[in-house]
Amino acid sequence: MVKVLFVCLGNICRSPASEGIFHAMVTKAGLSDMIDIDSAGTGAWHVGDPPDPRGQAAAVRRGYDLSGQRARKVTISDFEQFDYIIGMDSSNFADLAAIAPEASRDKIKLFLDFAPNLSIRDVPDPYYGGPEGFENMLDLLEEASKGLLDEIQHRHFESQAASQ
């Protein structure tokens, strides 16, 4: 089982959308029983809250259901449990690196590094903007999700199939 944790600031915009998008892609690829997906925030402001209604509406228009998710804060045990800890921007990455146990720091990745064809490295936080920010966010997350899924399939599942 490969475990992926998506992380943003409050776990109500970018990381829950990433979780929903990636879950849909993993399901479509037939890997739901091989990849576990969750999301969290570096801050605790929204713990227990559902994803932002604007983000949920934008996600639904693309066929992603985020309604069952609830915000939570990253814990130290997450660094032991997850294989990939994906920050949405350089600030999230730095916050994660600051609290990660030394042995787990290599698990922390910047999400848009899985979309090298994009000209930006940070997923902008749409929280204080309008609906177009959520659409742009989803575009970026879909692109990075494809790259992450390719990475996981290549690194974890193709090598297993080759050794059998």
- pLDDT value of position 123: 98
- pTM of the shown model: 0.96
Dihedral, CA atoms, 138, 52, 127, 47, nearest 10 degrees?
Answer: -120
Residue 61 is among the residues annotated as catalytic for this protein: no
What is the domain range of residue 30? 2-163
Please pick, among 38, 89, 95, 125, the residue that the annotation labels catalytic: 125
Please pick, among 8, 38, 72, 89, the residue that the annotation labels catalytic: 8
Look at residue 163 and tell me whether its pLDDT is greater than 70: no
Rounded Cα distance between 163 and 147, Å, is 24
- pLDDT value of position 158: 79
CATH number at residue 40: 3.40.50.2300
Beta strands in the chain (DSSP E): 2-8, 35-41, 84-87, 108-110
pLDDT digits (tens, 9 = 90+) for 11-63: 999 999 999 999 999 999 999 999 999 999 999 999 999 999 999 999 999 99
- pLDDT value of position 67: 96
- The total number of structural domains in the chain stands at 1
- pLDDT value of position 125: 97
Residue 121 is among the residues annotated as catalytic for this protein: no
Q: Which residue has the tokens 């990939």?
A: 84
Please pick, among 14, 78, 89, 95, the residue that the annotation labels catalytic: 14
Rounded Cα distance between 4 and 84, Å, is 5
**Who's near 111: CB < 8 A, 6+ residues apart?**
6, 18, 86, 87, 88, 123, 141, 144, 148
- pLDDT value of position 159: 58
pLDDT digits (tens, 9 = 90+) for 52-109: 999 999 999 999 999 999 999 999 999 999 999 999 999 999 999 999 999 999 999 9
